Amino acid sequence: GAAEGAIGAGDMFKPALARGELRCIGATTPDEYRKHIEKDAALERRFQPVKVDEPSPEEAVEMLKIVRRNYEVHHAVTITDEAIEAAVKFSDRYINDRFLPDKAIDVMDEAASALRLEATEKGIISPALVADLEREMADIQIKKEAAANAEDYEHAAQLRQRELLLLSQLGKARIEMGESVELIVTPEHIAKMVESWIGVPVSQMLESERQNLRDLEAHLRQRVVGQDEAIRAVARAVRRSRAGLKDPRRPIGSFLFLGPTGVGKTELAKALAAELFGGEEALIRLDMSEYMEPHTVSRLFGSPPGYVGHDEGGQLTERVRRRPYSVILLDEVEKAHPEVFNSLLQVMDDGRLTDGKGRVVDFKNTIVVMTSNAGTSELIHSGRIGFIAAKAKDARNEQHEIMRSKAMESLKRMFRPEFLNRIDQVVVFHTLGKDELYRIIDLLLGQVRGRLNELKIELAVTDEIRDFLLEVGFDEEYGARPLRRAIQTHIDDTLADAVLAGEIVSGQVVYLELNEGKVVVAAQSTS
């Protein structure tokens, strides 16, 4: 009844409500109440508003225990108390755009349905299924007799056909009862269902998570070399979050990574996404040099109504809304327009942001990583920081402290104090020494060996080759990044040519050596 001059349902109810002839209980949301009822004073005073808040997790558990029997009968399964507690716990922790008990009931319902479907596909018969068929048979028989007494013989004949079909199914089910098992919904089934909803690995929710968190630093060190301080900082933030000790309104962690290019800042963000959220696709990477102008800021968070691109959503907010469990990587953050930092203040402080469509986007389950080379690139260009100067441990520590102080001075000039105060930790990455670079070479060669193993070919590399790769693949200005290109050029290309030429076949061990400054296949032997 929104059309002007038309009589809406509310207008039709008003006289009966005023005379007391009609008792009515209505249900609506706060937004709909303001939009349709609150502005109509005559209708509003006929109702007594009762605000219904979201129940606590403890209350939600009791609610699910009350409705559990209905779902057990419907799906022919048994739902344990532990599964109900897991449904409330996981939905409350991981599903943020819905409310209890609705989201917990849906998780329990779908987990039971998935278990029933899986059992049906495997031909498993449960006692609960037989009991369900017997109840349906009794119901059909009562309806058939009622139809016959009412001389509705056509309907009675249809019910008779249904009765015969159920009788056949029931007889078959009773024969197979000897091989039956009771289908029990456990916390593992609940965890799998929540995983399918949000994309967070099951191992992040079960008891094995504790061990994973203890091993998090070791796992990150397998991918990021020589940056123990940075790894410890992010690992501590993740453990605080998983233990329930962090501020629930803020993101899991917000970090500013400082250091020259090619020392592992981006690689650590990728490793975090893979370890915590199941893969590098959980990394939301944005180059902040694209948001230097005032008019580009709206692309990040969404254009307001009436402007071009309003329907598309923001490049950051829309991706976080679709994948709320993610690592947000803001590369070269110092290049962004100052207006970007005003919005990031709200993200790091309140864990939420309103996009151009008016939707509140939740950032509480993200890790915000900002990278910058502020104060470090100048030192490298001046020759005060670099690989050659960083051979001795004491000299490297001294240079790291120089770089840290220069970087912090640059930060204070570039960013406002209120922005820096909201960052959990500023991490200055170390420059890479010779030992770290050799470990990176070994990691990259390990990836080559993994690809060759799929072809059943083994690779043997001498120290001379490693020295050569270090010489041609390290650049003081670009860090360790050129090492990957050096291995691709000198190792991958050499092996590819040999494979295509038939010089290397499956089942061989391949030896590489240096010949006049060029990597060549020295020999092959049968493994």
What are the residue boundaries of the structural domains of the chain, listed by start? Answer: 1-52, 57-187, 209-428, 434-526
Question: Which residue is associated with the tokens 């059309």?
Answer: 3
Q: Fold for 57-187, please state it.
A: Helicase, Ruva Protein; domain 3 (1.10.8)
Indicate whether 389 pLDDT > 50. Answer: no
- Bigger pLDDT: 512 or 330? 330
Three-state secondary-structure class, residue 515: strand
Model pLDDT for residues 29-41, shown as the tens digit of each residue: 887 888 878 777 7
* Domain 209-428 CATH (choose: 1.10.10.60, 2.30.42.10, 3.40.50.1360, 3.40.50.300): 3.40.50.300
- Write out pLDDT tens, residues 131-170: 677 777 788 888 888 888 888 888 888 888 887 887 777 7
Confidence bin at 415 (pLDDT 50/70/90)? confident
> Could you read off the pLDDT of 448-497 as tens digits, one per residue?
888 888 878 888 777 788 888 887 777 666 667 778 888 888 888 888 88
Q: What is the pLDDT of residues 162-197, one digit of tens each?
A: 878 877 777 766 655 555 566 788 888 888 888 888
Q: Which run of H or E residues covers position 291?
A: none
Q: How much is the mean pLDDT over the chain?
A: 77
Residue 386: pLDDT band (50, 70, 90) is: very low
Q: Which residues of 162-198 are buried (b: 16+ CB within 10 A; e: fewer)?
A: ebeebeeebeebeeeeeebeebebbbebbbbbbbeee
Whether the pLDDT of residue 382 is over 50: the answer is no
The Cα 49–Cα 446 span in angstroms is 66
- Confidence band, pLDDT 50/70/90 cuts, at residue 338: confident
364: pLDDT strictly greater than 60: yes
Q: What is the CA radius of gyration of the chain?
A: 32
**CATH classification number, 434-526, choose in 1.20.1600.10, 1.10.8.60, 2.60.120.590, 3.40.630.30:** 1.10.8.60
Does residue 258 have a pLDDT over 60?
Answer: yes
Peptide bond into 101 cis (omega under 30): yes
pLDDT computed for residue 390 by the predictor = 43
Q: How does pLDDT run across 224-245, given as a tens digit for each residue?
A: 887 888 888 888 877 777 666 6
Judge if 209-428 and 434-526 fold alike in CATH terms. no
**Quick one: what percent of the chain has pLDDT higher than 90?**
2
pTM: 0.64
Residue 105, pLDDT score: 92
User: Between residues 308 and 325, which one has the greater pLDDT?
Assistant: 325
User: Could you tell me if 374 and 261 are in contact, meaning their C-beta atoms sit under 8 angstroms apart?
Assistant: no
**Better-predicted residue by pLDDT, 102 or 278:** 102
